[in-house]
Amino acid sequence: MSAAGIYEVGVLLGGAVVLAAGGTVLAARAAGALTAATGGVMASLGERLEAAQAEWERQHECRSEWEHAALRVLDRNARIAVLAAECAAVTSGECPLSLPAPMPLACEIDDLAAWCASADAAIAEVESWLTDAAAIEIGRHLAEAWQVVRPGEPRPEIFSAEKVAEAMRAASRPGTRLTAARDPESLSADVARIVARLPADVAAEDLAAVRRAAGKALVRDLGEARTRLADLRQRVDAADTRAAIRRSDALDAAVMLQALADATDQDGLELKQALTDVVARRRDLDPALRTRTLSRCAQIQAAAEQEYLRQAVLTAADDLGFEVSADVTTLTGGNGRLELSRDDWPEHAVALVLDDGELRSMVFRTEHRDGQDARRVDREREQDWCDSFEEVRERLAVNGVQVGTRMELRPGERDRVPVTKAAAPARSRPRPKAREREMPQ
C-alpha cells in the first residue's frame, strides 16, 4: 500500500453470526471483550508464520467455545422472558417460584456455563408448575363438559387436576397410544388423555373450543363417541400447532429484544414494544415485523463489526508505534477518518477511513517542504507505512480479522504527497505493554 490505497476488509468473528438476532448480541457485547482478550498476544514482531498460525488456531478455538456458551445464554434468557409472560397469564394462582434474571454476556465461559446449569433447573421447575396450573384449568373444563353432557353423575377421577397433570406429562413422552373406547370409563380416559396433549401455553380460545369438542365426545352412544373423539384429536392437534407457532415466535421475539436492548430512538422503542407484545402473546410476529426487526438487527450487527475492526486496527497500529493524533469520528457512522502519527515522523501522518467494509489509507504531509530530500522522505514514509500495514494485517489475522489489500499507487508513484494540516490532537491512547492474555475460558 502506498500513499493512496484501499484495503478491502472481511471481518471474521468466529461463530458469532449464528442467528440473525443472536449474532447481533454477540457482536455488540462480545467485540470489546474479544478485542481486550486477544490484543497484544504476539509480544514481539518476530513471532510469525508457524507461531502465528498456532496462536490463531488457539484463539479461534477459545472464541468458538465462548460464543457457543454465549448462544446458550441467549437461549435461556429468551426462555426466561417467555416463561415469565406465561406465568403472568395464569389465572389459577400466582407462581410461587422465581425465575433468574437475564444473564449479561460479559462473563467468563465458566460463569456462563454455571449460570446456564442453574437457569435450566429453575426453568424446569417453572415449566412443571405451569403444567400443574394448566392441568387445573383443563380439568375444570373437562368437569364442566361432563356436567353439561351428564348432569348429576359423579365426575370421573381421571378429570381431576392431579390425573390430568399426570396425563399431560405422559403425553409428552413418545409411544403414548390410545385404545378404542369400549365403555364409559374408557371413553372418559380417552377424552382425558387426548385433551392432556394440549400444551401448557394453549390459547384460551383454543381451550374453550376443545372443551366443547370434549363435551360432544362424552355422549352415551359409544359409536358416536368414537367419531367425536376423532374430531377432538384434530382440534387438539390444531391447538397444539398454533401454540407451537406462538411459542416459537415468542422465543424469536425475546432473542431480538436482547439484540435491541440498547435502542433508544423512536423506531427502536416501537420495535421493542411490538416484540414485548409478541412475547406476551398479545400479537403475532407477522412477516412485516420480523423483516423490520431483522433489518434493524443487521444494522446493529454491521455497526458492531465495524467498531470491532476499528479497535483491532488501532490496537495493532499501537503495537507498531503509531498513535491516534486525530479521531474525526468514531468510524461507525460512515466516512469516519482517523489520523495516525509517530514520534519519529515529524512531517507525515497516515489518514485511515473505514466505511462500508473498506479500509482506505493515505500517507500525507503535515508540513509543506520542497526539494529532493523531501521527495526522498515522502517515499520512505510511504514504504514504511506499506511495511507497517503488513504487520498490522498479521496481527489482525491473529485476532480473527482477515484483510485483503488492493494497492492503487505504489510508494513514490505520486508526483507530490498531499499536504494537510494535522487535525487537533485526539485524546492519546496509552501504548499497551507487551502482555499475554487468555481468552475467556
14 with 65: CB under 8 angstroms? no
Name which residue leads in pLDDT, 314 or 436.
Answer: 314
What are 19's three cell numbers? 442467528
Residue 6, all three cell numbers: 484501499
pLDDT given at position 20 = 37
Please give the grid coordinates belonging to residue 403.
Answer: 484483510
Number of residues that make up the chain: 441
Residue 403 vs residue 127, higher pLDDT: 127
Q: What is the pLDDT of residue 193?
A: 85
Answer yes or no: are the C-beta atoms of 242 and 169 closer than 8 Å: no
Phi, psi angle pair for 12, to nearest 5° = -110, 115
How far from chain centre, in Å, is Cα 19? Answer: 6
Tell me which of 188 and 30 has the higher pLDDT: 188
Q: Which three-class secondary structure state does DSSP give residue 7?
A: strand
Q: What is the structure's pLDDT at 385?
A: 87
Quote the CA–CA distance of 44 and 319 in Å, as a whole number: 9
**Residues whose CB is less than 8 angstroms from the CB of residue 380 and which lie 6 or more positions away in sequence, other chains included:** none
Angle between helices 266-279 and 287-319 (to 10 degrees): 120
Taking 70 as the threshold, does the pLDDT of residue 364 lie above it?
A: yes
The mean per-residue pLDDT over the stretch 235-255 comes to 92
pLDDT given for residue 281 in this prediction: 92
Least confident of 222-226, 338-342, 347-351, 406-410: 406-410
Confidence of residue 421 (pLDDT cuts 50, 70, 90): low
Range in 139-143, 227-231, 408-412, 433-437 the model is least confident about:
433-437
What is the per-residue pLDDT for 110? Answer: 81
CB of 351 closer than 8 Å to CB of 339: yes
> Who wins on pLDDT, 15 or 348?
348
What is the chain's mean pLDDT, rounded? Answer: 73
State how far Cα 272 lies from the chain centre.
Answer: 15
**C-alpha grid cell, residue 111:** 460463569
Instruction: Give the three cell numbers for residue 373.
Output: 530530500
Residue type, 174: P
Domain boundaries, the chain: 4-39+299-407, 69-285
Confidence class for position 184, pLDDT limits 50, 70, 90? low
Distance (Å, whole) CA 175 – CA 407: 66
What does pTM read for this prediction? 0.67
SS3 state of residue 362: strand
Contact 96, 269 (CB under 8 A): no
What pLDDT does residue 227 have?
Answer: 84
**Alpha carbon distance 188, 142 (integer Å):** 10
- Alpha carbon distance 66, 56 (integer Å): 15
Q: Rounded distance, CA 350 to CA 422, Å?
A: 10
Distance CA 10, CA 400 (A): 10
- Within 8 A by CB and 6+ apart from 54, the residues are none
Q: Cβ distance 76 to 254 under 8 Å? A: no
256 has pLDDT over 80: yes
| Alpha-helical runs (H) found in 150-286 | 161-171, 184-195, 204-217, 222-259, 266-279
Cα gap 268→297, rounded to integer Å: 10
Q: Which residue has the cell 385433551?
A: 195
What pLDDT is stored for residue 144 in this prediction?
82
Give the contacts of 10 (CB within 8 A, at least 6 positions apart).
357, 401, 402, 403, 404
Q: What is the mean pLDDT of residues 186-191?
A: 80
pLDDT score at 406: 61
Higher pLDDT, 2 or 155: 155
**H helices present in 97-221, as ranges:** 109-149, 161-171, 184-195, 204-217
CA atoms within 13 A on the CB side of 433: 1
> 22, 20, 19, 41: which is closest to 30 by C-alpha?
22
| Per-residue pLDDT, 45 | 26
The H helix count followed by the E strand count for the chain is: 10, 6
Give yes or no for a contact between 350 and 366, defined as CB atoms under 8 angstroms apart. Answer: no
